[in-house]
Amino acid sequence: MLPVPFFVLYIAAVLELNSLICLHFNKSIPENGLKSTEDQYSQQWGPHDDEYWIFLNGICVGRNWLQNNIDRLSRTFHRPVVGVHNKTTGVIFDIIQCLIQRALLYATSDIRDCYVLVKRALYKPGIKKVVLILHSQGGIEGGMILDWLLDEVPQNLLQYLEVYTFGCLANHFSNPCRNLSTTDPVPSQETLAEGKKRPRAISHIEHYANAFDFATRWGVLHFTQAEMDGSFENRFMGRVFVNPVPGHQLNQHYLGNFFPLDPTRRFTREPRAGDFMNMDAQVDESRGNGPEGEEVLLSLAASRLLDGRDGALNNGTYGNNELRKLKMWECSRLWQYRNGATPVPVS
């Protein structure tokens, strides 16, 4: 058995070596975020000067991976994207950090940096839309950022914010209703149970999840499928899209499946047979947040995987009733941004 001093020295050497290796992956990131690459093709895109797109990465991502992520997002939606770097300390320590952040709401420097960037964009004159995209651990951090914004930013600015997650590891995603004036009576539980949809503070939140992704099974899929005693207990807000495939990598398993590019790698192609966006949407309104319209959208294959039962869902019940015949792309707001397009305003 090794003496204690040698054991301590060994641990210190391993930690120092890990720090040196990670220092190489984390270097050369600007304080105001990493910008997506501009090339001859991006210069031909239409202007979106009133929009600001921000990306916060997940675990085990160095500078090169972050650059690849924001370049892929930029190419998909034909908009410049700013990447905030969630620095890696190696897979083991990144997972430990995830557990601490999720359980104790511990705010690391990248959370504070991203919060400042989002808040500054919301207050910037001329900006009418701020899009925050989160992946993996970035979902945990984005949930914390959202909590801070709900406390600090007025509603007339929060309405400009939209949030989209991929492989989200968070245990909550807040989005309270903010349509009551100070003179309106507080709604009773009976009023809330009537099923009337009410505007929320953040106008659009969407979560994209692979059914066999370990992160989503610990995160978004678990917390949107848990049995709730009442509508007030589920704090995971946002529409959820579930694809019955494995994989956690952003570019390969999420953007490649949800937003595939054409052979030129310059445009998001139209959905084909077998693509997720071309699948029929099975709307499960019994999950998530019920009357508030925060739905979980499943392909038929995904509904069988997650429930262990055959059949499709219609307003939370199984049977042969008429289904809401929608394709996934018709339900996805983020899909409407592809190739520089802009979603149709909701009246």
To the nearest 10°, report the CA torsion of 333, 335, 340, 341.
-60
> CA-CA distances (angstroms) from residue 30 to 97, 154, 261?
23, 29, 29
Mean pLDDT is lowest, of 168-172, 232-236, 249-253, for 232-236
Query: Structure tokens of 185?
Result: 């009576």
Inter-residue contact 131 to 162 (CB < 8 Å): yes
State how far the alpha carbon of 71 is from the alpha carbons of 66, 121, 247, in Å: 8, 20, 20
Structure tokens at 106: 């511990």
Question: Does pLDDT of 170 surpass 80?
Answer: yes
pLDDT at position 110: 95
pLDDT band at residue 293 using 50, 70 and 90 as cut-offs: very low
pLDDT reading at 183 higher than 50? no
Query: Which residues are 188's β-sheet partners?
Result: none
Confidence of residue 294 (pLDDT cuts 50, 70, 90): low
Q: In the numeric block, which tokens belong to residue 33?
A: 């975020």
Short-list 53, 14, 44, 75, CA closest to 255: 75
Tokens representing residue 237 in the block: 């807000």
Q: What is the pLDDT of residues 114-141, one digit of tens each?
A: 999 999 999 999 999 999 999 999 999 9
User: Domain 34-175+192-340 is in which class?
Assistant: alpha beta
- Under 8 Å between Cβ of 244 and 183: no
Cβ–Cβ < 8 Å for 83, 66? yes
Q: Which two tokens stand for residue 256?
A: 């490649």
Amino acid at 252: Q
E strand or H helix at 75: helix 63-77
List of E strands, 116-245: 129-135, 161-166, 204-210, 239-243
Tens digit of pLDDT for each residue in 188-210? 544 444 545 678 899 999 999 99
Residue 75 has pLDDT above 80, yes or no: yes
> Does the pLDDT of residue 228 top 60, yes or no?
no
pLDDT the model gives residue 68:
98
Residue 194 amino acid letter: E
Q: pLDDT-derived band of residue 86, with 50, 70 and 90 as boundaries?
A: very high
Q: What is the pTM of this model?
A: 0.87
Question: What is the C-alpha to C-alpha distance for residues 331 and 257, in angstroms, rounded to an integer?
Answer: 16
Name residue 327's beta-bridge partners.
280
Is the pLDDT score of 291 beyond 70?
A: no
Q: Looking at residue 49, what is its pLDDT?
A: 95
Domain definitions of the chain by residue range: 34-175+192-340
Q: Is the model's pLDDT at 55 over the cut of 80? A: yes
What's residue 70's pLDDT?
A: 98
